[in-house]
Amino acid sequence: MKNLLKAGLVAFASLAATVASAQDTIRFAVTDIDGLESLQKEMGPFKDAFEKASGLKVEFFPVSGRTVAVEAMAADQIDFVLTGPAEYVVFNARLDAQPVVTWNRPDYYANVAVLDSSAFQKPEDLKGQKISFGEIGSTSQHLAPATLLAEAGLAYGTDYEPVFLKRNVAMEALIKGDIAAIGLNRTHIDQITEKFPDQKLRVLLKGEELPNDVLLASAKVPAEVVDAVRKTFAEHSDDLLAAITSTEENAKYIGGSFNAQVTDADYDSVRKMFETVGVTEFKEFVGE
């Protein structure tokens, strides 16, 4: 009996060691970084800092967008994904992915802007006009600005014509009078101001702070691994933020923070934004 018990304990210890070893590495993707080279360049310093703080190894998994990322998670190829608020809603609906920690950036809110010289003074003046949004399905460039307009009494796709133009193209169209307004976030206003120094935008509608980018975990990741990741962000936030913002591409997070107390309910407002543009099922990305 003693030998049997001993053998059982050895087998259990061996199994536990195997499980622990399998959890030493987490597979990590970012939906808006295309390709392994870019991922290593933009997130390499974060990877090094996170590995040092957590004791876990990070294996980058490059994706070419949000659709590829959700398919990779469905195929159990990735464990954690850094993505935007609207994308999180789809990951959660399709795969029951859960938020782990938000990556908060300052001044993350949506605007609807017109040229300062424009005759449009009130939101209702935009009725019957063309309004450009950025990337279709983007929280801050599409869903939130459309919601601001809806709250001002302008129904999406009925009271105005939504079009989707890249920011510089949209600004040129605005100058020509081809569109009446642009939906965009504060960072984009700063970028446009730098690109078009002779032009000035006037904000017609400004939103509240938006739910932030979020690191989410696959439902298949063990709870103890998720807890370890969450704890690392909570206890080493300064070091991780310094590492993230050491690359120019992550400048949007300068002055930001992490929130390891995030819950799924924090993104209910984004679900309402989906409904504003006529999407009532959250399992597909808007526009795809």
State mean pLDDT over 84-110: 96
* Alpha carbons 248 and 44: distance in angstroms, whole number: 12
Which CATH number belongs to the domain containing residue 272 in this structure?
A: 3.40.190.10
Q: Does any domain span residue 15?
A: yes
* Alpha carbons 164 and 127: distance in angstroms, whole number: 17
Q: Does any domain span residue 70?
A: yes
Provide the pLDDT for residue 10: 41
State mean pLDDT over 15-40: 77
- Whether 176 and 123 map to the same domain: the answer is yes
Asked whether the beta carbons of 156 and 124 are under 8 A apart, the reply is no
Asked whether the beta carbons of 149 and 176 are under 8 A apart, the reply is no
Domain boundary among 209, 228, 259: 209
Provide the pLDDT for residue 233: 97
- Whether 223 and 261 map to the same domain: the answer is yes
Provide the pLDDT for residue 23: 65
- Whether 98 and 31 map to the same domain: the answer is yes
Is the pLDDT confidence value at 259 over 70?
A: yes
Q: Does any domain span residue 160?
A: yes
Measured from the Cβ of residue 238, the count of other Cβ atoms closer than 10 Å reads 10
Number of domains within the chain: 2
Is the pLDDT confidence value at 7 over 90?
A: no
* Alpha carbons 234 and 107: distance in angstroms, whole number: 22
Q: Does any domain span residue 285?
A: no
Nearest partner of 64 among 26, 102, 29, 91, judged by Cα: 29
* Alpha carbons 167 and 144: distance in angstroms, whole number: 16
Q: Please tell me whether residue 53 adopts helix, strand or coil conformation.
A: helix
Q: Does any domain span residue 288?
A: no
* Alpha carbons 156 and 145: distance in angstroms, whole number: 10
Q: What is the DSSP letter of 112?
A: E
Q: Please tell me whether residue 49 adopts helix, strand or coil conformation.
A: helix
- Whether 217 and 88 map to the same domain: the answer is yes
Helix (H) or strand (E) holding 115: strand 109-115
pLDDT tens figures, 141-200:
999 999 999 999 999 999 999 999 999 999 999 999 999 999 999 999 999 999 999 999
Beta bridge partners of 257: 104
**β-pair type (213-217, 181-185):** unpaired
- Whether 80 and 144 map to the same domain: the answer is no
Helix (H) or strand (E) holding 200: none
Is the pLDDT confidence value at 78 over 80?
A: yes
Is the pLDDT confidence value at 13 over 50?
A: no
Asked whether the beta carbons of 81 and 91 are under 8 A apart, the reply is yes
pLDDT tens figures, 29-48:
999 999 999 999 999 999 99
- Whether 13 and 82 map to the same domain: the answer is yes
Provide the pLDDT for residue 1: 45
DSSP string, 78-101: -SEEEE-HHHHHHHHHHH--EEEE
State mean pLDDT over 266-281: 96
State mean pLDDT over 101-110: 95
- Whether 19 and 75 map to the same domain: the answer is yes
Torsion of CA 117, 120, 123, 129, to 10 degrees: -110
* Alpha carbons 30 and 60: distance in angstroms, whole number: 9
Domain boundary among 190, 209, 228: 209
State mean pLDDT over 125-139: 95
Is the pLDDT confidence value at 11 over 60?
A: no
Prediction pTM value: 0.87
What angle do helix axes 144-151 and 268-276 make, rounded to 10 degrees? 70
* Alpha carbons 286 and 30: distance in angstroms, whole number: 19
State mean pLDDT over 105-126: 96
Q: Which residue range(s) make up the domain with 192?
A: 109-209
Domain boundary among 209, 234, 267: 209
Amino acid at 63: V
